[in-house]
Amino acid sequence: MATDNLPSRGSDPDTSVAAAQTASHHAPIVRDVVLRIMQEDGPLTHDELIGKYHRLVVIEPETPRASDSGIRTRLSELRRAGLIAKDTEEGVSTFGNRAKRWIAVDPDAPAPQPAAAPDDDPVSAALGEDDIVRSDPQGNGDAGGDDEA
């Protein structure tokens, strides 16, 4: 997942273009750090991820600084790559609002199998069609057995 150049407009000042070039250089590193945080500490809301990222910058000074929006963008890239998914439970934002939680997923893991529907009968599924005695669909009381008349 390479991001060679982050977008900038032709009308942007030189400083914005330079910032986009610097950010594009750091984006793969930031993306790897975001994935590591999600793998170690997830599921997390955006706010929780951003807080953990900024704490990591203090603890590990070699970690590149990133803006809140840059961290969210890297998480979104990881989601599009299939490495992050929305969690089934919601979290709470720093403002106390409901927030999505995100979780790291193993792209090589087999997909979860759906639970059997309540009307599925595992015993019937194991039997052959000839082993199953069915009631007479016309309602004659004949269950499909042999007639001894």
Tens-level pLDDT at each residue, the chain (149 residues):
544 455 555 666 667 666 666 666 789 999 999 999 999 999 999 999 999 999 999 999 999 999 999 999 999 999 999 999 999 999 999 999 999 999 999 877 776 555 555 555 555 555 555 655 655 555 555 555 555 54
pLDDT for 149: 47
Predicted local distance difference test score (pLDDT) of residue 108 = 79
For residue 104, report the phi and psi dihedrals to the nearest 5 degrees.
Answer: -75, 140
pLDDT of residue 3: 42
pLDDT for the residue 104: 96
Q: Are 52 and 41 within 8 A, CB to CB? A: yes
Q: Which amino acid is at 102?
A: W
Assign a CATH topology to domain 14-104: Arc Repressor Mutant, subunit A (1.10.10)
The pLDDT assigned to 39 comes to 96
How many whole angstroms from its chain centre is CA 14? Answer: 37
- As a whole number of angstroms, the distance between CA 50 and CA 70 comes to 10
